[in-house]
Every structure is written in structure tokens, then in C-alpha cells.
Amino acid sequence: MIKKFIFVVGGVMSSVGKGVTSSSISAILKSHGYKTTNIKCDMYVNIDAGTIRPTEHGEVFVGSDGIEADQDLGNYERFTLNTMSAENYITTGQVYQEVIRKERNLEYKGEDVEVVPDVPNEIIRRIKNAQKTSNAEITIIEFGGTIGEYQVLLFLEAARIMKIANPEDIAFVMVSYLPLPTYLGEMKTKPTQYAMRSLNTAGIQADFIVARGTKSLDDKRRQILAHTCNIKAGSVISAPDVKTIYEIPELYKKQNFDEKILETLGLESREKNKAPFEDLVKKIKSTKKIIKVGIVGKYFKTGDFTLIDSYISVIEAIKHGGWANNTNIDFMWIDAEKFEKDKNDFSEIDQCSAIVCPGGFGERGTAGVMRAIQHIRENNIPFLGICFGMQLACVEFAKNALKIKNATSAEFNPKSKDQIIHVNPTQTKNIKDNKYGGTMRLGSYKVEFAQESITQKAYNSPEASERHRHRYEFNNKYKYAIENAGMKIVGVNPETNLVEVVELANHPFFVGVQYHPEFKSHPENAHPLFKKLIEVGLKT
């Protein structure tokens, strides 16, 4: 069986697009008939991304098996339609934890355990395990961070050892950034040259450079990079900023990046398919229809950049919903805390044709979110509340429609008698013992829908399997009261009777889901709830 590995590393700075590059490489190789998988290696000592703040690390992506991973796994799924699981996510924390566990179990048989080679060997074992689990012929491994960082060294060492053992089976791609200072008007190659030198000191020579920048790479700079970085000019791939990331596979194919990788790995094309997303990109570029969608959230503190990272799958899923309706999205970022200061200024919300209220944790900003939800509910604005958004919609409804003055969530007030959202008994001990890592209700669970509900009609199915990540949940004690007042429970988990979906009876589209539909939305196959939200938004 073919077992090839492509390492994707970053030069010059982080956030150059290694995730999209790795996803696109996987997608274009898949289009030649090869079975691929992707792995993300995060340099953090964290065991997973579950305990990291979204403004610190971006969204926590949840796999169907419940892995709480880096957001890049979301890109891998969206670009390749491959399902990611725990094996596809490796962190420094996992690696050290396993090495130490083995040492305690005498599995090193009395040898001293050394950082090198025992730590790189564990990294290699994990990479090979992910390949084996998914039966992939080509495995694309992305290293987080940037070459030259101290913490990436043991991962580079693992890659170097793999290359020595099987030189024909390993390729390296360095995704680098070429700054274009406005006062010069030309792209500068020197930082990339230094990055390649840095990679060389780790004993690795990249086979390809993906040259990221605001503009396309010109021939002069391509030659400079080839000469100074010791690679063929044809192995420097230009990757300018594009209108949509789904253009990138096509952009790579136009430069024969796919054929060149296959050649480097000694493979031949098995079938010739179009670049993934070609038709979609045409649609995105030609459509004139546009809809304004607001995201009312609380992870906005450090500007637009962080915002996009914190809610990346939600943002993508809204776009998919738009494209399914031949419409592009004009996003409006609405910081919920604003409604705590300007109590009656809902003008931003009123400009939007639909609102999404995404997941979150902790009390800060929630009074503002609930004020916004009340306005949305009373003014028939199409609304999708996700996880925390659903929980706050329930609390708001209990407070203002049911007149339970102190209605709250156990997350904010663990002693309250009016917990519309309470803590599942299985979670009480975790909270008491400070066991926060990997202990939420995670991963895929079944949800059954009520006949004739808006949600059931949107799915066009009596049930679905959706991904979860929460510790708190709707308190069934309030089921009858809330239903009598007009908020219907239209989705439950059949095993536990846990409330999964609520919707308002007298509203064009007001749906709250305890799960995260955004993780299962695909560019060419929008999640039914996002598709419906935009469809209704376009009509109202």
C-alpha cells in the first residue's frame, strides 16, 4: 500500500494560511484519486484545544468523536469531506503525557528516557497511527506556529527522521510570507530566505515554497527564491490573497502544483478531475444577490482578526447557507456588550435580515445578548441560536415571556432556584473537582425532531446526528410552562430526553439548537438550518 507523507511548515510569521494550504493540497491530491488525510500538530502543552480561550487560539472545532481540536481541522473537513477524529490532532501535551505514561509503566525497559529520540519517536508513532486509522495513501501533516520557534524543533526532528528512513515517501512544503512594504511597492524575499535557512539548520530542505502575499509572485522574485532557497523555480508556488479561500485549489492546479507533488512522491495521477469548488467559485463571483447577516457574540475583544478566528465555522456555515440560496453574505459583527451600554439602540440588528447567536462560555456579555434576543424575538427577525445562543434564548424567554424574573443559567448562578438552564448531574462532580479538560458532553449524538416543526421541515428528516460541546442544558422542569407560552421543544435526544432544539411557534424562523450545526456544514452542501435561515431571511 502507498504511504506518503507531506509536511507543511510555516515561514516568517504565523497565520499565513498553512491550514488552507494543507486542506487545498489534500483536496487537489484527492481529485487525482488518492485517499488522503490531514493531521494538525499544535505546539502547545495543552492536551487539546478545549481549555484555550477562543480569543487566544480561535474556535475550538469538535470532531464527531468529540475531539476538541484546532480550527484547522474544520478546514480539512470542509475542503476534503474527510472526517477528522482524535488521531488527526497531535499536541506537545499529548506527546509528553504518553512518553511519561510509558516510562511509569516500565515500557522503556529500564533505559533512560531522552527528549531526543523518545519524544520525536512518539510524534512519529502518532503520525503513523493517524495514517493507519484512516487508511490514507497520502497524509498531510501541518505544523502549527513558525519555523525557528523553539517549540517546533522536536516536531521538525520527527519529520527529519521520517525523511531519512523513507526519502522517497516524504515531501516538505514551506508556506512563507512575502511582505510588500507600501513605500517600496515590491515584494521582499529575504524573510523567506532566512526561514529556509532556519529549516535547513533542522536538517530539512523544503521541496516547495508556497509564496503567500497580497499579490502574485513575479518571475524575478521566483528566480531569486529558487536560487537562494535551493529549489527549482517551478517549485515556488504563488499564492496571493483571493476573494474566497475555495479558489485556492484551482489556483494551485493552474500552476500544476498537484502534478508536481505527485512527481516528487513518485506517484502518477489515477484520474483527472476538475479542481474542487470550481463551479462554486464561479457562482460566488457572479452572484449579485447579497444579504446582511449579524453575528451577536462576545468574543470580539481584539478586533476583526480574532473575531473571524473565534467563530470561523459559524461564519463559513452562514456563507454556505447563502451560496445554497445563490446569495453572498455581508457580515455585521455585533458585540453583545454594546446592548448593556446603549440599552435601546438596536439599529445594527434592524439592518440585518438574519441573526446568528453562536456558542460561548461565562456570564460576561450575556445580559446584552439577551436584550438583543428579546428584540429579535419581538420583531420577527430570523434567528438561529447555537448552544450558548440557544440557552440564552431559553433564559430570555423565561424571563420576559414567562415572567420568571430571576430566570438564569446554572453557569452564572449555581445556587439559583430558577435555573432554566441547569447542570447535568453527570457534570456536577467534574465542576466540583475542577475537571474541565475533555469532560463536557462532546461529539455526535442523535436528535429526533417533532413532526411538522420548522426544524424538521428544514432537515427534511425525522432525525439527525449532530456534534455537541456543552456542560449545561435545558431544565426539563420548565418544559410545559415554556411550551404553553409558545416556545416549542421540537428536538430531543431519544436516549436522555435532553432538549436539543427549541423554536417559537409564532415567528418566521426562531430556532435554538443545543448542538453545533456549523461543524457539519460544507461549502457545496450547506447545513439545512443555515440554508433555511438565509432562505427565510431573504423573504422577510
The residues binding ligand GLN (CB under 6 A) are: 359-361, 387-388, 391, 411, 469-472
Q: Given the complex with ligand GLN, which of 247 and 518 has the nearer CB atom? A: 518
How large is the angle between the packed helices 190-201 and 219-229, nearest 10 degrees? Answer: 20
Q: What minimum distance in Å lies between the beta carbon of 432 and ligand GLN?
A: 16
Q: What minimum distance in Å lies between the beta carbon of 502 and ligand GLN?
A: 14
Residue 41 annotated in active site: no
Strands 441-449 and 463-470: antiparallel
Interatomic CA distance for residues 441 and 433, integer angstroms: 17
Judged by DSSP in three states, 398 sits in helix
Interatomic CA distance for residues 217 and 321, integer angstroms: 34
Q: Given the complex with ligand GLN, which of 20 and 315 has the nearer CB atom? A: 315
Q: What minimum distance in Å lies between the beta carbon of 256 and ligand GLN?
A: 42
Q: Given the complex with ligand GLN, which of 155 and 472 has the nearer CB atom? A: 472
Q: How many angstroms from the chain centroid is the CA of residue 407? A: 33
Q: Which of 507, 516, 527, 535 is catalytic?
A: 516
Q: Given the complex with ligand GLN, which of 114 and 363 has the nearer CB atom? A: 363
Q: Given the complex with ligand GLN, which of 49 and 136 has the nearer CB atom? A: 49
**Which three cell numbers mark 33?**
484519486
Q: In this structure, are residues 289 and 493 in contact, taking their beta carbons and an 8 Å threshold?
A: no
Q: Which of 59, 518, 527, 535 is catalytic?
A: 518
Residue 278 annotated in active site: no
Interatomic CA distance for residues 392 and 409, integer angstroms: 8
Interatomic CA distance for residues 402 and 418, integer angstroms: 12
Q: What minimum distance in Å lies between the beta carbon of 111 and ligand GLN?
A: 44
Q: Please count the residues of the chain.
A: 540
Q: Which of 41, 357, 387, 394 is catalytic?
A: 387
C-alpha R_g of the chain: 25
Instruction: Return phi, psi of residue 51, to 5°.
Output: -100, 10
Tell me which residue has cell 478566528: 309
Q: Given the complex with ligand GLN, which of 48 and 137 has the nearer CB atom? A: 48
Q: Given the complex with ligand GLN, which of 311 and 472 has the nearer CB atom? A: 472
Q: Which amino acid is at 280?
A: L
**Residue closest to ligand GLN, measured at CB:** 359
Judged by DSSP in three states, 4 sits in strand
Q: What minimum distance in Å lies between the beta carbon of 358 and ligand GLN?
A: 7
Q: What minimum distance in Å lies between the beta carbon of 235 and ligand GLN?
A: 42
Q: What minimum distance in Å lies between the beta carbon of 20 and ligand GLN?
A: 24
Interatomic CA distance for residues 384 and 537, integer angstroms: 11
**Count of CA atoms in the C-beta half-sphere (13 A) of 469:** 27
Q: Which of 339, 333, 340, 337 minimizes the C-alpha distance to 355?
A: 333
Cis, bond preceding 358 (omega within 30 deg of 0): no
**Which three cell numbers mark 469?**
460541546
Q: What minimum distance in Å lies between the beta carbon of 48 and ligand GLN?
A: 15
Q: What minimum distance in Å lies between the beta carbon of 514 and ligand GLN?
A: 8
Q: Which of 220, 192, 190 minimizes the C-alpha distance to 208?
A: 192
Q: Is the dihedral angle over the CA atoms 380, 460, 76, 389 positive or is it negative? A: positive
Burial of 464 (0-12, 13-18, 19+ CB in 10 A): buried
Q: Given the complex with ligand GLN, which of 27 and 386 has the nearer CB atom? A: 386
Judged by phi (left if over 0) then psi (alpha if -120 to 50, else beta), residue 66 lies in left
Interatomic CA distance for residues 512 and 503, integer angstroms: 6
Q: Given the complex with ligand GLN, which of 17 and 517 has the nearer CB atom? A: 517
**Which three cell numbers mark 468?**
455537541
Q: Given the complex with ligand GLN, which of 338 and 470 has the nearer CB atom? A: 470
Residue 394 annotated in active site: no
Q: Which of 132, 131, 53, 50 minimizes the C-alpha distance to 91?
A: 50
Q: What minimum distance in Å lies between the beta carbon of 471 and ligand GLN?
A: 4
Among all residues, which ones are annotated catalytic? 387, 516, 518
